[in-house]
């Protein structure tokens, strides 16, 4: 059979008839293509690797010891000859892994909102070395469900450190308060009293705008 006329082939593993592009080129085959489709071959290779991981690892180590520098040279030569292909594969893998990681992170954050907030606050305070005190999830939930300390707005409440972590504030229940998103972003790393005075001045200067919050 003329290899150039092959457009379809039946996989010996899954028994499906697929287009030629689904098979790996194999010069030793009469058809010029592997007997298994790419998916079946990849699955078989993965299963073999899992079952013989330690054996293969030992073989790689033994080969490296017997041929020092040869693997690095081959890898370097392959990379230099296929830079664009290698870069494309890396980019594709990065995008796939990034999307998977983003989905996992969003799902975890949605299911563990309190734990995420607590973890972030604890990390910031530990980095600053200000001291960390136990704050329960019940206490954090109570703060999140309270209206903004400054403007009284409800909903979308942030947990704010009255004395900022950046200025020595501790992560303790006595140093936490609810602020709405707008007030918290305006306060930044200021002391609450400084923020309050500044906010009152801004409100006086923009009273005609009718804003109830900073």
User: What is the tally of structural domains in the chain?
Assistant: 1
For residue 50, the model assigns a pLDDT of 92
Angle at 141 between CA 144 and CA 212, to 5 degrees: 15
Sign for the CA dihedral angle at 200, 206, 211, 214 comes to: negative
Per-residue pLDDT tens for 160-195?
A: 989 888 788 888 888 999 999 889 888 988 898 998
* Cα–Cα distance for residue pair 36/41, rounded to 1 Å: 6
Question: Is 148:213 a contact under the CB 8 Å cutoff?
Answer: yes
How many helices and strands in the chain, by DSSP H and E?
8, 6
Q: Environment class of residue 15 by beta-carbon count within 10 Å: exposed (0-12), middle (13-18) or buried (19+)? A: exposed
Residue 45 lies in a domain: no
Range of the domain at 131: 113-209
Question: Is 1:31 a contact under the CB 8 Å cutoff?
Answer: yes
Question: Is 164:147 a contact under the CB 8 Å cutoff?
Answer: no
Per-residue pLDDT tens for 50-63?
A: 999 899 988 888 88
Residue 146 lies in a domain: yes
* Stretches in the chain below the pLDDT threshold 70: 1-5, 113-119, 121-132, 206-214
CATH classification at residue 201: 1.10.30.50
């Amino acid at each position: 059979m003329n290899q150039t006329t092959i457009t379809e082939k039946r996989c010996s593993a899954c028994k499906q008839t697929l287009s030629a592009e689904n098979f790996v080129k194999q010069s030793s085959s009469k058809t010029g293509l592997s007997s298994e489709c790419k998916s079946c071959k990849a699955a078989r290779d993965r299963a073999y690797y899992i079952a013989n991981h330690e054996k293969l690892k030992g073989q790689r180590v033994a080969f490296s010891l017997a041929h020092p520098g040869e693997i690095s040279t081959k890898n370097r030569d392959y990379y230099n000859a296929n830079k664009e292909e290698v870069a494309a594969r890396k980019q594709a893998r990065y995008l796939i892994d990034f999307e998977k990681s983003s989905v996992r992170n969003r799902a975890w954050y949605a299911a563990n909102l309190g734990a995420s907030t607590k973890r972030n606050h604890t990390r910031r305070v530990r980095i600053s070395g200000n001291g960390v005190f136990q704050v329960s999830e019940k206490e954090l939930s109570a703060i999140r469900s309270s209206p903004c300390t400054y403007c009284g707005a409800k909903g979308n409440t942030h947990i704010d450190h009255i004395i900022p972590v950046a200025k020595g504030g501790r992560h303790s229940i006595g140093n936490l308060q609810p602020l709405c998103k707008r007030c918290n972003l305006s306060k930044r790393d200021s002391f609450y009293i400084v923020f309050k005075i500044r906010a009152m001045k801004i409100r006086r200067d923009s009273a005609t705008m009718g804003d109830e919050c900073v």
